[in-house]
């Protein structure tokens, strides 16, 4: 039995944990913080759907539980951080183009197979709707927060296809900048041109509109509310 209660963060990649880990551990210092790195977008993994996404998240939690020998009562909250990847844009803003990899812009997406991205967005949108309406996973309070178009866009201010190496360098630098300065990070993430204003529900309503899921927005500030 852990003496401290456990806050679990679910993130997409190791650079997400590198950028945010020290900040979150400082803010939640009276608790134990564990990161689950999914290595990709859990909403887009094979065989994941709106029907089984909660089961998939619970499987991730069971992994943490067995690895650290936690009991169910040790957990106090799950904080899930996801990239938007333009999930809610109009199908007409997904352009068939001569590109190797999908390219994101603040008003459209270029892809060599537009229909595949349309289908991806429908599937991801359905799963995100289920998750944002879910208050608990297996009895543990759960909230999902977004970065648009992705974490790097929000934290570093540029929408581009960063390599894994570039992500790691940027995230390490970011972590160093805010090491021991959690209040400065909160001030940054509350910047009016980044933070979506309003309640948890309102922030999700906003990101679903127009091309907002491609623009530089987040509701991560609500983690600190």
Q: What is the pLDDT of residues 57-70, one digit of tens each?
A: 999 999 999 999 99
Listed by start position, the domains of the chain span: 6-88+125-224
Q: Which residue, among 31, 121, 39, has the nearest Cα to 78 in the 3D structure?
A: 31
37 falls in which pLDDT band (50, 70, 90)?
very high
pLDDT at residue number 46: 87
Q: What is the pLDDT of residues 93-151, one digit of tens each?
A: 999 999 999 999 999 999 999 999 999 999 999 999 999 999 999 999 999 999 999 99
Q: Strands 103-104, 109-111: parallel, antiparallel or unpaired by DSSP?
A: antiparallel
* Domain 6-88+125-224 fold: Rossmann fold (3.40.50)
pLDDT at residue number 141: 98
This prediction's pTM: 0.96
Q: Contact at 8 Å (CB) between 152 and 83?
A: no
Percentage of the chain with pLDDT > 70?
A: 99
CA distance 50 to 207: 19
User: Above 80 in pLDDT, residue 1?
Assistant: no
CA dist list (Å): 90 to 31, 155, 182: 42, 25, 37
């Amino acid at each position: 039995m852990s003496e401290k209660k456990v806050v679990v963060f679910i993130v997409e990649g190791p650079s997400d944990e590198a950028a945010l880990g020290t900040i979150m551990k400082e803010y939640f210092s009276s608790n134990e913080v564990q990161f689950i790195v999914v290595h990709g977008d859990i909403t887009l993994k094979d065989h994941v759907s709106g029907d089984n996404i909660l089961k998939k998240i619970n499987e991730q939690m069971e992994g943490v539980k067995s690895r650290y020998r936690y009991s169910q009562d040790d957990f106090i909250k799950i904080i899930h951080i996801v990239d938007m990847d333009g999930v809610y844009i109009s199908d007409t803003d997904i352009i068939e183009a001569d590109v190797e990899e999908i390219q994101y812009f603040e008003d459209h997406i270029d892809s060599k197979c537009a229909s595949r991205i349309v289908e991806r967005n429908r599937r991801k949108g359905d799963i995100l709707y289920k998750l944002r309406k879910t208050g608990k996973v297996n009895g543990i309070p759960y909230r999902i927060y977004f970065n648009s178009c992705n974490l790097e866009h929000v934290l570093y201010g540029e929408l581009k296809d960063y390599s894994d190496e570039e992500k790691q360098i940027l995230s390490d630098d970011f972590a160093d900048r805010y090491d021991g300065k959690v209040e400065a990070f909160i001030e940054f993430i509350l910047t009016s041109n980044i933070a979506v204003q309003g309640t948890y529900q309102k922030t999700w309503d906003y990101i679903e509109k127009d091309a907002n899921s491609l623009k530089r927005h987040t509701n991560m500030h609500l983690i600190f509310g």
